[in-house]
Amino acid sequence: MGNASPEVQRFARHVTRTNEEEGFAHAVDTFILGQPPLARTKLGLPPRTRACLFGLDGVLTQTSSLHARAWKQLCDYYLRQRALSSGQPFIPFDLVRDYSRYFDGKPSQEGIHAFLDARGIELPESTVHALNDRKAALLAEVLQQERVETYEGAVRYVQAARAAGLRTAAVSESRHCAGMLQSAGIQDLFDARLDATLPPELYVTAARTLGVSCEETAVFEDTPAGVAAARAAHFAYVVGVDRLGQPAELRRHGADIVVADPAALLDQEVSTSRG
């Protein structure tokens, strides 16, 4: 750590990845400058990066509205049938409030349980699984009828990463990764796609599939939980993609840098030294 004072060195050990210059620089940036270190490649990534993993929903594609409509269709059908059999009033699923509160950015099973608990409904786990399967089928029907919209800046970044020789993978906790990529017309931009698995296993398996180590891989995620999982798995660089106006939350969960869109990294100045 060079000629740094004992106090700075003591603080640095809590955040530095190594005792080498790059690790110490990260600590200095974090504690003294209050910001992550400047990246040193034209992609805004550490020089050793060989691959990028991109979260599907929220990073690459604008699919929240599709998921929300599938959940509403499922929940309204179930709640209506329940109201008819019990004589209780039918309170429909709120497309904005209920989806954002219980489902957005969460695993499906967790979302169903949270929503049912809020409505005071207890169901056998087998019924919960059946509801989740039915939602998946409804979403598949939507994908056959509508084109998935992408974030243009994210697609531009993936193209730049591939042009620079990096391997790329799209990852998703849902089981619709292939269908969404095909619907969006970007399936050819990825060397691998993995879904239906929870982080961090999802990320670790994706890196292994690409033939790279976690220490050589950058992860792009838009949820605090996804960022935290990538950080816990010791990936080289974790980029928080802030689509919902929560930059502090993404940083708190371990993002090395937070951007509104991955394309913002392409506009950063290249830093070749730290002076």
Give the pLDDT band (50/70/90) at residue 193. Answer: very high
Per residue in 80-114, pLDDT tens? 999 999 988 999 999 999 998 998 877 788 899 99
Q: Are residues 135 and 157 in the same domain?
A: no
Q: Which residue has 């974090």 as its token pair?
A: 30
Domain boundary among 113, 145, 177: 145
Give the pLDDT band (50/70/90) at residue 272. Answer: very low
Q: What is the pLDDT of residue 154?
A: 97
Residue 269 confidence (pLDDT) above 80? no
Give the pLDDT band (50/70/90) at residue 268. Answer: low
Residue range 136-155: average pLDDT? 88
Q: Which residue has 């040193």 as its token pair?
A: 40
Number of domains in the chain: 3
Q: Are residues 157 and 240 in the same domain?
A: yes
Q: Are residues 48 and 157 in the same domain?
A: yes
Q: What percent of the chain shows pLDDT beyond 90?
A: 59
The mean of the pLDDT values for the chain is 84
Q: What is the pLDDT of residue 141?
A: 85
The DSSP string of 29-72 is: IIIIISSPPPP-STTSS-TT--EEEEETBTTTEE-HHHHHHHHH
Per residue in 18-57, pLDDT tens? 444 444 444 544 454 445 554 467 999 999 999 999 999 8
Between 138 and 38, name the one with better pLDDT.
138
Q: What is the pLDDT of residue 267?
A: 66
52 close to 166: Cβ distance less than 8 angstroms: yes
Between 38 and 153, name the one with better pLDDT.
153
Question: Of 57, 69, 59, which Cα lies nearest the Cα of 146?
Answer: 69
Q: Are residues 95 and 111 in the same domain?
A: yes
Q: CB count, 10 Å around CB of 12?
A: 21
Give the pLDDT band (50/70/90) at residue 265. Answer: very high
> At CB < 8 A and 24+ separation, what contacts does 98-103 make?
98/71, 98/72, 99/64, 99/67, 99/68, 99/71, 99/72, 103/67, 103/68, 103/71
3-state secondary structure 189-240: HCCEEECCCCCCHHHHHHHHHHCCCHHHEEEEECCHHHHHHHHHCCCCEEEE
- The domain of 11 spans 1-36
Per residue in 108-117, pLDDT tens? 888 999 999 9
Q: What is the pLDDT of residue 176?
A: 82
Give a yes or no: residue 275 inside a domain. no
Looking up residue 56, the CATH number of its domain turns out to be 3.40.50.1000
Looking up residue 105, the CATH number of its domain turns out to be 1.10.150
Give a yes or no: residue 273 inside a domain. no
Q: What is the pLDDT of residue 76?
A: 95
Interhelix angle 125-145/64-86, rounded to 10 degrees, is 130
Residue range 10-19: average pLDDT? 42
